[in-house]
């Protein structure tokens, strides 16, 4: 199967190691991975700011880059959700856009649902706290949401439990938003930072050594606060833990 | 003051913000416990949402049916196109009675219409009888929450307020003592006021009756002792049949406070013998919202407040930061319909986390509507120019792979060009956060060297 | 006229008609309705007293409420209270210490009791009394609100209310206080 590797812009620019870990995971499970070199961004930063009408060129580019793959996989629930919900182009490109919307997967759901991964030879002997990013959780349903009267499940947690030596931390508020929110993080700086502080506090109180998640944007925000406050928590993307040895 | 400025001010007091957040989170947890005790909870939400959808799709017919049945019950029905007409109708009823003092139980509609200041200007004294509303009224503030109007007040502060206005002992902050003082103070009002105004939770087209829910019993104490009962309702409060109340009453209190039902669910059908009963049906923008396909579902709202209690932004910015009668996520999708210019900031006061939509008992897609309002507001020119310039620049960079790659290199050096950070020399990111350490190469550069 | 203007705007802007859903009653999950009712009412600050006869109610009232002004319209308790209150000015009920009224039926899931104007004597009675006592037949406890509205059916009333426990507020820092404006306590007499 041909998998298009969708590396969101901020991962490309700031967290190449997350891209590398994602690629390694997909290759490890036998995917034929292609990385379209001309990719930039899904367009979400503009769209969530009220400028979805400025995303036409991003959309066209995205369709050009990814239309020929069987699956499109990215290490970010938020960017994947944006593509799934908002990727449209004019004219004949729309059929390709539809194909992409139906075939785009966040990394952990691709591992559990499509590749049906049951074993990872990974080893990570730390207490790990999972941050449930909202777009992955409430948008892509990667995990059950605490508000709904429905059976519990969690795709990222299922994968983390396959890692040797790991100890998963139970949080007091298991799926509260971290406060990143795209441009919210600067437009509503006070609330954004406060939400991040509270999320980290929950992890510290419950003994997290390594804070992880499927969305590097949330993690970048949390890591930014952790580093400013010099707190004793390390931040890693889930792909890095799933490939740890 | 826009939302982010007000939120910034709110957050200056770290411990108080903690307290506010935890108080409301406690209510969210009570809601969770109540909901999880009902295995059919999600079915109920679906059913409620479908009933409300039917109501919206047949609202004119139901309004006429309701009016006919209410009139047959001996109730006088008034229609108000906007807030001003609503206020005028209430005033004219009072003038007809020669009344200058009334008691009022909770009604967010009258807050939306700014009835209290209007009546005050016209020489009518309004006593809000819900304890929380009385507290904010004594403090000359609007409610900060539609169900818990003074959730932002600490008991010590209420003690000071009551000492000043109700003569409670100085330094007394005991909730029981303060509540008893308010009980005695308001009992006198109930016994002496001849007109009582209430809101409406549900109005039944089939029977012409309407339901008012309270825990305190203040709506009942007011109306059953008054000569005239005026009930004010938005036109969207209709439910088709009496049996539909069973669905909504199961959802309302559980969603609002985690109670199995409010203490009183009072069904008013006919005036008491010798009493007058008036209903004011108010549009005030609702028919316009009904025509906005993306936003009409907001009219399903039953005003439980669950979206506020779960909203991580509301909990850390307070109800007043929304500068609208209805605060929080639901307020942020209702307010732009009332005034786009004044409320253009509100749909942006959200991370779009989606928790609001999940707790909503009538399944309003609140966070999706927040997203849609952002688009509508931006397209209709309600966005700051600087933001538009920044977004256009960002779109230009992201539309061209070569420009993107080039500015990425620069960006990693200067850290000033990340896509989510609007061009701004005083980048607020840095106030409380570091940027990531720039790697020596991008993933794209690494891939080129290592895979092809 | 605003009426026509509003109706026209609504007619113009409303979406395509969607059908009403069927309302299920979701069954009865409670093996013991009395126990469920008792558990909920106790949790929300009410008191449940199971009795076998009206004499037991009289005894309970004499033990717990002696000296208070009492009103009732229930024939078996007629000799305990005066009847003139039924036609007096409702404001004169301000000093009622105990009102004993019939509840038509109760709901197990939330301990709400359905009382209409006919049982209230005066509409204000269950709200103005310092203590409200409602007499409910044990066999008249229904599982859920759906069953309650099925029971009410198309009944006509001028006023009716579901009453669940004493009047209460938590407006001051979420601290629960019983007796906001209405009854400070509420007793449900469950009679065979």
Residues B229-277 have pLDDT tens digits of 999 999 999 999 999 999 999 999 999 999 999 999 999 999 999 999 9
- For an interface test with A, the pick among B419, B423, B429, B450 (most A C-beta atoms closer than 10 Å) comes out as B419
Give the residue among C82, C126, C157 at the shortest CA–CA distance from B270: C157
C neighbours by CB contacts (3+ pairs under 8 Å): B
Residues C5-44 have pLDDT tens digits of 999 999 999 999 999 999 989 999 999 999 999 999 999 9
The mean per-residue pLDDT over the stretch C59-86 comes to 92
Helix (H) or strand (E) holding C117: helix C117-120
Share in percent of chain C as helix, strand, coil (round to 5): 35, 25, 40
Where in the sequence of chain B do the CATH 3.40.50.10420 domains occur? Answer: 38-284
Distance CA B230, CA B223 (A): 9
B423: which 2 tokens?
């061009």
Which is it for the CA torsion C103, C104, C106, C111, positive or negative? negative
Domain B38-284 has CATH 2.60.40.10: no
Residues B93-116 have pLDDT tens digits of 999 999 999 999 999 999 999 999
Global pTM value? 0.96
Residues of chain B contacting A227 with CB distance shorter than 8 Å: 433-434
**Sorting pLDDT into bands at 50, 70 and 90, what band is B412?**
low
Residues A1-25 have pLDDT tens digits of 899 999 999 899 999 999 999 999 9
Residues of chain C contacting B179 with CB distance shorter than 8 Å: 169, 171-172, 177, 179-180
Q: Classify residue A107 as exposed, middle or buried by CB count within 10 Å of its CB (0-12, 13-18, 19+).
A: buried
Give the pLDDT score at B410: 64
- Residue C1, chain B, CB below 8 Å: the answer is yes
Give the pLDDT score at C190: 98
Helix H segments across B316-437?
328-338, 355-359, 366-379, 385-399, 401-414, 429-432
**Sorting pLDDT into bands at 50, 70 and 90, what band is B349?**
very high
Residues B148-200 have pLDDT tens digits of 999 999 999 999 999 999 999 999 999 999 999 999 999 999 999 999 999 99
Residue B26 predicted with pLDDT over 60 = yes
User: Which ipTM did the prediction report?
Assistant: 0.98
Distance CA B113, CA B82 (A): 8
Q: Of A220-229, C74-83, C144-153, which gets the smallest average pLDDT?
A: C74-83
User: Does C touch B (3+ CB pairs < 8 Å)?
Assistant: yes
Look up residue B272 and give its DSSP letter: P
- Residue C119, chain B, CB below 8 Å: the answer is no
Residue A143 predicted with pLDDT over 50 = yes
Residue A171 predicted with pLDDT over 80 = yes
Which residue on chain A is closest to B355 by alpha carbon? A147
Do A188 and B348 count as a contact with CB atoms less than 8 A apart? Answer: yes
Residue B418 predicted with pLDDT over 80 = no
What radius of gyration do chain B's Cα atoms show? 25
Give the pLDDT score at B56: 98
Portion 77-116 of B in contact with C at CB < 8 A: 79-81, 85
Domain locations in chain A as residue ranges: 2-114, 127-242
**A29: phi then psi, degrees, rounded to nearest 5:** -100, 25
Residues B307-317 have pLDDT tens digits of 999 999 999 99
**Sorting pLDDT into bands at 50, 70 and 90, what band is B423?**
very low
Instruction: Output the CA angle B290-B292-B296, nearest 5 degrees.
Output: 50
Count of B-C CB contacts under 8 Å: 245
Residues B208-229 have pLDDT tens digits of 999 999 999 999 999 999 999 9
Distance CA B91, CA B85 (A): 10
**Sorting pLDDT into bands at 50, 70 and 90, what band is C161?**
very high
Give the pLDDT score at B390: 84
Give the pLDDT score at B414: 47
Give the pLDDT score at B435: 84
Residues facing B239 on adjacent strands = B204
Crossing angle (nearest 10°) for helices B366-379 and B328-338? 30
Residues of chain C contacting B149 with CB distance shorter than 8 Å: 171
Residue B327 predicted with pLDDT over 70 = yes
**Sorting pLDDT into bands at 50, 70 and 90, what band is C82?**
confident
**What CATH code would you report for C31-166+176-191?**
3.40.50.10420
The mean per-residue pLDDT over the stretch A192-216 comes to 97
Q: What is the mean pLDDT of chain B?
A: 94
Half-sphere exposure at residue B94, Cβ-oriented, CA atoms within 13 angstroms: 24
Asked if residue B411 lies in contact with residue B417, where contact means CB atoms within 8 angstroms, the answer is yes
Give the pLDDT score at B398: 87
Q: Of B63-67, B411-415, B448-452, which gets the smallest average pLDDT?
A: B411-415
Residue B340 predicted with pLDDT over 50 = yes
Residue A217 predicted with pLDDT over 90 = yes
- A127-242: what CATH class? alpha beta
Give the pLDDT score at C81: 79
**What CATH code would you report for B288-379?**
1.10.1060.10
Give the pLDDT score at B422: 47
Distance CA A172, CA A170 (A): 7
The mean per-residue pLDDT over the stretch A107-135 comes to 97
Percentage of chain A lying above the pLDDT 70 cut: 100
Residue C45 predicted with pLDDT over 60 = yes
- For an interface test with A, the pick among B32, B364, B433 (most A C-beta atoms closer than 10 Å) comes out as B433
Q: Report the residue count for chain B.
A: 452
- Residue C54, chain B, CB below 8 Å: the answer is no
Which residue on chain B is closest to C117 by alpha carbon? B272
């Amino acid at each position: 199967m041909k998998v298009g590797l969708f590396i969101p812009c901020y991962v490309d620019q700031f967290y190449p190691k997350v891209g590398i870990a994602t690629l390694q995971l997909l290759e490890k499970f036998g995917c034929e991975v292609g990385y379209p070199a001309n990719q930039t961004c899904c367009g979400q930063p503009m769209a969530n700011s009220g400028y979805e009408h400025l995303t036409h060129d991003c959309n066209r580019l995205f369709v050009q880059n990814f239309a020929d793959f069987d699956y499109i996989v990215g290490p970010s629930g938020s960017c994947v959700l944006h593509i799934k919900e908002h990727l449209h182009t004019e004219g004949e490109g729309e059929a390709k856009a539809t194909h992409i919307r139906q075939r785009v997967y966040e990394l952990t759901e691709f591992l559990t649902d499509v590749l049906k991964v049951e074993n990872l030879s990974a080893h990570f002997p730390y207490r790990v706290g999972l941050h449930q990013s909202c777009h992955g959780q409430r948008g892509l349903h990667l995990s059950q949401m605490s508000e709904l009267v429905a059976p519990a499940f969690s795709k990222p947690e299922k994968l983390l439990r396959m890692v040797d030596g790991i100890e998963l931390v139970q949080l007091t508020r298991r799926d509260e938003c971290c406060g990143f929110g795209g441009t919210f993080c600067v437009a509503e700086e006070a609330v954004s930072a406060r939400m991040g502080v509270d999320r980290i506090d929950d992890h510290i109180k419950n003994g997290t050594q390594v804070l992880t998640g499927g969305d590097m944007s949330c993690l970048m925000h949390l890591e930014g606060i952790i580093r400013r406050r010099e707190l004793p928590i390390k931040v890693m993307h889930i792909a890095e833990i799933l490939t740890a040895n | 003051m826009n939302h982010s400025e007000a939120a910034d001010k709110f957050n200056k007091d770290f411990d108080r913000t903690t307290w506010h957040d935890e108080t409301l989170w406690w209510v969210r947890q009570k809601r969770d416990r109540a909901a999880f005790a009902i295995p059919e909870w999600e079915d109920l939400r679906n059913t409620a949402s479908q009933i409300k959808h039917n109501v919206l799709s047949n609202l004119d017919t139901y309004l006429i049916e309701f009016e006919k049945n209410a009139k047959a019950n001996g109730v006088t029905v008034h229609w108000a196109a906007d807030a001003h007409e609503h206020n005028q109708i209430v005033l004219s009823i009072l003038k007809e009675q020669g009344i200058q003092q009334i008691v009022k139980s909770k009604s967010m509609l009258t807050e939306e219409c700014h009835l209290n200041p209007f009546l005050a200007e016209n020489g009518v004294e309004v006593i809000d009888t819900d304890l929380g509303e009385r507290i904010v009224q004594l403090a000359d503030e609007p409610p900060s929450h539609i169900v818990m109007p003074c959730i932002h007040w600490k008991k010590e502060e209420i003690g000071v307020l009551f000492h000043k206005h109700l003569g409670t002992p100085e330094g007394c902050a005991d909730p029981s003592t303060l509540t008893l003082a308010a009980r005695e103070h308001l009992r006198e009002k109930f016994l002496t006021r001849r007109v009582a105004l209430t809101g409406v939770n549900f109005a039944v087209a089939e029977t012409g009756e309407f339901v008012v829910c309270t825990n305190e019993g203040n709506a009942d104490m007011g109306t059953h002792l008054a000569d005239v009962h005026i009930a004010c309702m938005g036109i969207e409060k209709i439910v088709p049949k009496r049996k539909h109340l069973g669905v909504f009453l199961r959802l309302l209190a559980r969603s609002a406070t985690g109670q199995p039902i409010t203490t009183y669910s009072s069904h008013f059908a006919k005036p008491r013998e010798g009493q007058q009963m008036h209903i004011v049906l108010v549009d005030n923008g609702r028919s316009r919202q009904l025509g906005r396909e993306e936003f009409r579902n907001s009219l399903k709202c039953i005003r439980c407040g669950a979206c506020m209690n779960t909203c991580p932004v509301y909990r850390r910015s307070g109800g007043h930061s929304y500068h609208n009668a209805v605060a929080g996520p639901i307020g942020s999708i209702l307010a732009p319909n009332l005034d786009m210019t004044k409320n253009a900031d509100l749909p942006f006061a959200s991370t779009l986390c989606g928790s609001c939509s999940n707790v909503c008992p009538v399944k309003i897609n609140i966070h999706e509507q927040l997203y849609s309002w952002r688009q509508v507001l931006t397209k209709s020119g309600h966005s700051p120019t600087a933001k538009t310039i920044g977004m256009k620049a960002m779109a230009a960079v992201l539309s061209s792979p070569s420009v993107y790659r080039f500015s990425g290199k620069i960006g990693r050096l200067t850290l000033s060009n990340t896509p989510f950070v609007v061009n701004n020399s005083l980048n607020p990111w840095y106030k409380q956060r570091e940027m990531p350490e720039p790697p020596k190469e991008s993933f794209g550069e690494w891939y080129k060297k290592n895979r092809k | 006229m605003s009426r026509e203007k509003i109706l026209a705007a609504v007619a113009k802007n409303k979406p395509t008609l969607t059908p009403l859903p069927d309302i299920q009653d979701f069954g009865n999950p409670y093996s013991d309705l009395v126990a469920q009712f008792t558990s909920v009412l106790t949790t929300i600050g009410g008191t449940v007293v199971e009795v076998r006869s009206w004499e037991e109610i009289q005894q309970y009232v004499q033990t717990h409420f002696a000296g208070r002004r009492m009103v009732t319209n229930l024939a078996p308790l007629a000799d305990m209270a005066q009847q003139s209150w039924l036609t007096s000015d409702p404001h004169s009920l301000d000093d009622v210490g105990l009102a004993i009224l019939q509840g038509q039926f109760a709901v197990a899931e939330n301990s709400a009791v359905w009382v209409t104007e006919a049982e209230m004597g005066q509409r204000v009675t269950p709200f103005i009394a310092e203590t409200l006592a409602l007499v409910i037949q044990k066999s008249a406890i229904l599982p859920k609100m759906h069953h309650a509205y099925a029971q009410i059916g198309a009944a006509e009333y001028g006023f009716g209310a579901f009453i669940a426990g004493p009047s209460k507020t938590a407006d001051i820092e979420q601290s629960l206080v019983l007796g906001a404006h209405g009854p400070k306590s509420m007793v449900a007499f469950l009679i065979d």
